[in-house]
Amino acid sequence: MRNRIKIERAIKDLTQESLAKQVGVSRQTINSIEKNRYAPSTVLALKLSNVFEKSVNELFELDETD
Amino acid sequence: MNPSKDLKLLPHHFRKYAFSLLVATVLFSMLPLLKLVSIDKNIGFLIIKSGFLTAFLLLALTKEKMEDERTIRLRVLSFSGAFIMGVVSGITEPLINLLIDGSFISTRGTMELLISMFVFYFITYYILKYKNS
């Protein structure tokens, strides 16, 4: 699964730490999501979509391996 | 629905109690070496193993400073890995003893097996935690 979290975070000028605080997870979790090492739960994906004011489908997309 | 609230874990400050118990157990294990006190060997070992097991259990069940869905996933992965390791070592140990000593018995007790499973759990958990962060 690919995602645009890093790009959207840069657009909003947010650090990993501040984004993590807003969605209630650790900075390491945000880092893992950005590096596609961890697929977030639906709840976390929805929280991220609220922060970036984008739909989940705009933030995350399936890749060939999924 | 919050996955981090589904798994009931002890508050983070329990980590201090776990480490205190670990230190106390290590110090207790040194007492006979320093000849400060004489305890029956079997009772001494039982106390030491119980101390380590309790401290490890407390550590394993204590929340991280920032517990979230990723740390819970890593916990589940590590717990299942430790369980599989325990079963595999329980099955293979008598076979290995048969090859080495010629006796088809397990020399390791339940407590030793549980301690080795906890050690495996902690190593796996911290490797996964720092590798993926």
Query: Residue type at B130?
Result: Y
How many structural domains does chain B have?
Answer: 2
pLDDT of residue B48: 93
Interface contact flag, A38 B132, Cβ < 8 Å: yes
One domain, residues B72 and B118: yes
Q: How far is A11 from chain B, CA to nearest CA, in Å?
A: 23
Domains of chain A in sequence order? 2-52 (1.10.260.40)
Residue A60 has pLDDT above 90, yes or no: yes
One domain, residues B41 and B75: no
The predicted-structure confidence for B63-117, as pLDDT tens digits, reads as follows: 998 899 999 999 999 999 999 999 999 889 888 888 888 877 777 788 999 999 9
B51: containing domain: 9-66
One domain, residues B28 and B40: yes
Burial class for B82, CB neighbours closer than 10 Å (0-12, 13-18, 19+) = buried
Residue B13 has pLDDT above 60, yes or no: yes
At which of B42, B66, B90 does a domain end?
A: B66
| Long-range contact pairs involving B87-96 (C-beta distance under 8 Å, separation at least 24) | B89/B113, B89/B116
For chain B, the farthest-separated pair of C-alpha atoms sits apart, in whole angstroms, at 56
Interface contact flag, B70 A26, Cβ < 8 Å: yes
Global model pTM greater than 0.80: yes
Residue-averaged pLDDT of chain B: 88
One domain, residues B35 and B85: no
**Contact between residue A30 and residue A18 where contact means Cβ atoms under 8 Å apart:** no
Burial class for B37, CB neighbours closer than 10 Å (0-12, 13-18, 19+) = exposed
Interface contact flag, B2 A43, Cβ < 8 Å: yes
CA distances B66 to A16, A45, B12, B56, Å, are: 14, 18, 9, 20
One domain, residues B19 and B76: no
The predicted-structure confidence for A4-53, as pLDDT tens digits, reads as follows: 999 999 999 999 999 999 999 999 999 999 999 999 999 999 999 999 99
pLDDT of residue A23: 96
One domain, residues B92 and B82: yes
Instruction: With cut-offs at 50, 70 and 90, classify the pLDDT of residue B3.
Output: low
Tell me if B113 is assigned to some domain.
yes
